[in-house]
Structure 1
Amino acid sequence: MTLTLTRRRAIALGAGALAAPYVNRAWGQTPYTIAQILYRGATAVERGFSDYLEQRGVPVKLIPFDANLDPTRVPGIVQEIKALKPDLVYSWGTPNTLATFGRYDDVDPDRNITELPGVFTMVSAPVESGLVPSFESSGRNITGTSHVVPPEPQLRAMQTYKPFERLGVLYTSNEPNSVAIVASVKTIGEDMGFDVVERTFPLLGDGKPDGSAAAKLVTELAEDGAEWLYYLPDTFLSQQMDAVTPTATALGVPGFSAVERMQSDALISLISRYYSVGQLTGYKAEQILVDGIAPASIPIETLKRFALIINMKMAKEMKLYPPLAMLNYANILRDE
C-alpha cells in the first residue's frame, strides 16, 4: 500500500531528489550546531536526518545527548543544552520531547527550552499528547514530524487480512501518546464495529512500568477474546516483545505493528520507514536553519508514503495466509 509523497521543492524522499544539493551553498560556511536529545542512541532516523542535510549541502555539527531509555535524565540535558546555545535542538520521541519543550499549554521557561528553535521527530500523537495544538502550527518555537500511520488505515488493513470483532491492546498508561492512540482506536471501533479489550503494564512504586507480567497480560487479552493484538508505538511495549510475541503466537493471536521497530514481531505492519522520517525531519531543520523560517510557520507532518509488510514466516507458522489481493500491493514479504 503506497501513497504518493508530495512536498514543496519536490524533495521526494528516498526517490532521488536528495542527490542534488544546492550548489556551493555551504562552502566556507560555519557549520550549524544541532544538539540532539536521543532516547536509545542513534537510529535509522538520525541516519536519514544527517544524510539529508549532507546531500543538501547544509554543514552541521551534531552534538548528541542520550537519555538512555530514561526521560527523567532529560531535564539535566536541557540545562546543558541551554548553556551550549546551539542553533537548533532536535528531540526524539514523545517522552523526550515533552520533557524538552513542555506541553504547549504548560511551558516553563526555567525547565523547558523556549528560546532556542526546536525540531522533534518520532512523536506518535503530537496533538493528542498536548505537545502542539494542531498540525498546522505549534504556535511556538518548534516544529517536527510524526512517524505513525493514522490508525484508521492500519485497522482497515487488519480487517482486510483477517476480519475481527475484538481488538486487543497492551500499553503503558503513563505514555501520553499511547493513551491518546487507544482513545482514537476506540472511537474508530465504534464506526467500524469492533470492541477494544485492553491491558496496561502495572506501575512500580517509582512510577516506572513493570514488564514482568507481559506474557500474563497477553494471555488475559486472548482469554477476553482478542482476535488481533495492536502493537502501538509504545516505547515500553517495544522493549517487552521477547515475552509478548511468543505468547501471542502460541495462543494463535496475530499481531499488527504500527511502527518499524516491531515489524518482525507482527504478522503484518503498515509503517513509515524510520530513515524516511529522518529525511523529512532534516527538511524541516533546513527550513529553520537555512531558509530562516520560524518553526511556528512550519506545519507538523507525517510521511505520505507507507510500507505494508507481511511476515510470511509468521504467516506460515500461524497458518494465517494473506489474501491474494493484498500480496499485489505489499511492499515487503518477509520469509526468514
Structure 2
Amino acid sequence: MLRLMPLRALALRCLALIGVVAAALPAAEIHIMMVQWRGETEAEIGFREYLDRSGLKLRWTVFDCKLDPTRGATVPAEIAAAKPDLVYAFSTNGALAVVGRHDAPTTIDPAIPVVFTVVGDPVGAGLVPTLTGHGRNLTGVSHLVPMKTQLTVLSQVATFKKLGMIDVAKSVSARLIRQELETLAKDHGYVLSAATVTPGGVPAEAMAAAATELLAQKPDAVYLPSDGFLIANAAAAIAPLTAAGIPVFSATEQPVRKSGALLGVVASYRAVGRFAGAKAERILRGAKPGEVPIEPLPSWQVVYNAKVARQVNVYPPVGLLKLAEAVE
C-alpha cells in the first residue's frame, strides 16, 4: 500500500534537501585571494583552470610578493584589507608569509582557509608540525619528487662522485634540500659540494659567480634545488656549467624547459595547481581544511632538454627515454 508523507514532513524534508544543495553549491560570490611569490606560474594557471570549471561564482584578487621578503611581510595586512573567503599561497616563502610557522603564526584571521602549492616539505618548513592532525586551517600540495627517487633516476643518466649544488642564502626550501642531499650522500656514493648565492644586487652576476665557484670545485654534475630566486635566474648559472660540459639537473621543470638544464625528475606545476584547486573546491563546498589531506602530487615525470644533451654529450638511457618528455 502506498504511504503518503504528511505535508509538514514533506516540506521539512524538502527544506533539508535545499539546505544540502545550498551548502554544496554556494550561490554567493566567493572571493579568492592569490598570494604569488614570483608572479604567475603554471601552478596559478592550473589552480584557476580547475576552479573556473567548478560552477562556483568566483572573484579573484592577486597580490604578488615579487621575490621580495619585505613585500611578503605585508601579506597579512593585505589579506585583512581584502577579506577573502579563501587564500591561495604559492611556495614555501609565500605560505610562510600568509600563515607563518605553526609555532609563530602571522596575524591572519585563523578562520580564513588557506590552500598552498609548491611547498616541498611542509613539516620541515614549519608550516605544520605533522601532515595530519595539525590543527591549522590550511591544506595544500607538495611538488617535490622524493629525493631518493630523483637520485635513482639521475644516476641512470650520469655518474657523479661529486655532486655540486647551488644553495640560496636564507632560503628555507634550498636549506632543506641541501640537508637531505647531505644525508643521502653516503648511500648514493657521492660527495656534495655547494656554492651559495645571496639574492640582491644584480641576480645574473650573483648566479654566474656561484657557477664559477662550483667550476673550481670540479663537480661531475650540478643539482638545482627548488627556490624562486634560483628558478627565475637559473640561466645565468646554467650557461657556464653547460659550456664546461657539466650536466645540470633540476628539482623543478622550468630550468629544463626554459633555462638550459639537462634534466629533471619533476612534478608538473600546472598539475600541482589543479590538484590544489580540487582541494580548494572541497573546502568551498563545506569541507574543513584539516580534513583535506596535505599531500604530494601522486605522479611525476622526467623532462629532459635534447639540445643540452647534445651539448654536454650526456643522454638518458633508452629505457628512460621512452618515459621522458623531450624539450628543445
The interval holding the TM-score normalised by the smaller chain is: 0.7 to 0.9
Displaced runs of 4 or more, over 3 A? 23-28, 208-211
The equivalent residue for 2:98 is 100
> Given the alignment of the two structures, is residue 183 of structure 1 paired with residue 179 of structure 2, yes or no?
yes
Residues 83-232 of structure 1 aligned to structure 2 (within 5 Å): 83-109=81-107, 112-202=108-198, 212-232=205-225
1:294-333 aligned at under 5 Å gives the runs 294-330=288-324, 332-333=325-326
- Report deviation, 1:142: 0.9
Note if contact 1:201-1:214 (Cα within 8 Å) is conserved in structure 2. yes
Match of 1:246 in 2: 239
Measured in 2, the distance between the counterparts of 1:95 and 1:106 equals: 14
Alignment partners' CA distance in 1, 2:314 and 2:78: 51
1:156-185 CA deviation, whole Å, 9 max, x = no partner? 111011121111101212011110111011
- 8 A Cα contact 1:101 1:113, kept in partner: no
Q: CA deviation at 1:141?
A: 0.9
User: Contact (CA 8 Å) 1:38, 1:92: kept in 2 or not?
Assistant: yes
Shift of the alpha carbon at 1:198? Answer: 0.7
Q: Distance in 2 between matches of 1:121 and 1:127?
A: 14
Q: Which moved more, 1:264-273 or 1:78-87?
A: 78-87
1:57 aligns with 2:52: no
Measure the CA separation in 1 of the matches of 2:121 and 2:73: 22
Greater helix fraction, Structure 1 or Structure 2? 2
Partner SS state of residue 125, structure 2: coil
Bigger Rg, which one: 2
Paired with 1:117 and 1:51, the residues of 2 have a C-alpha distance of 20
Aligned partners of 2:116, 2:43: CA distance in 1, in Å?
A: 11
Q: How many residues align?
A: 306
Q: Which amino acid aligns with 2:219?
A: A
Aligned residues of 2:38 and 2:228 also touching (Cα < 8 A): no
Query: Which of 222, 235, 242 is the equivalent residue of 2:228?
Result: 235
Q: Any stretches of 5+ residues in structure 2 without a counterpart?
A: 1-20
What is the Cα deviation at residue 134 of structure 1? 2.2
- What does the per-residue CA deviation read over 1:52-107, in whole Å, with 9 as the maximum and x for residues that have no partner? 12223222211111112213213323213213321111111111211110001112
Percent sequence identity is 35
- In 1, are the aligned partners of 2:34 and 2:61 still within 8 Å (CA)? yes
Deviation at 1:267, TM superposition (A): 0.9
Distance in 1, matches of 2:202 and 2:120, equals 19
CA distance in 2, matches of 1:56, 1:239: 31
Give unpaired runs (5+ residues) of structure 1. 1-22
Q: TM-score, normalised by structure 1?
A: 0.85
- In structure 2, the residue matched to 1:5 is none
SS of the equivalent of 1:233 reads: coil
Judge conservation of contact 1:148–1:258 (CA < 8 Å) in 2.
Answer: yes
Higher mean C-alpha deviation, range 215-224 or range 171-180? 215-224
Distance in 2 between residues matched to 1:227 and 1:274, nearest whole Å: 28
Are the equivalent residues in 2 in contact too, given 1:133–1:139 (CA < 8 A)? Answer: no
The answer (yes or no) to whether the contact 1:122–1:147 under 8 Å persists in 2 is yes
Distance in 2 separating the partners of 1:283 and 1:215? 40
Cα drift, residue 242 of structure 1: 2.8
> Given the superposition, is the C-alpha separation of residues 27 and 197 from structure 1 closer, same or farther in structure 2, using an over 3 Å criterion?
closer
Distance in 2 of aligned mates of 1:27 and 1:197: 53
Distance 1:316 1:299 in 2: 42
Deviation at 1:108, TM superposition (A): 4.0
Q: Check conservation: 2:32, 2:61, Cα contact below 8 A.
A: yes
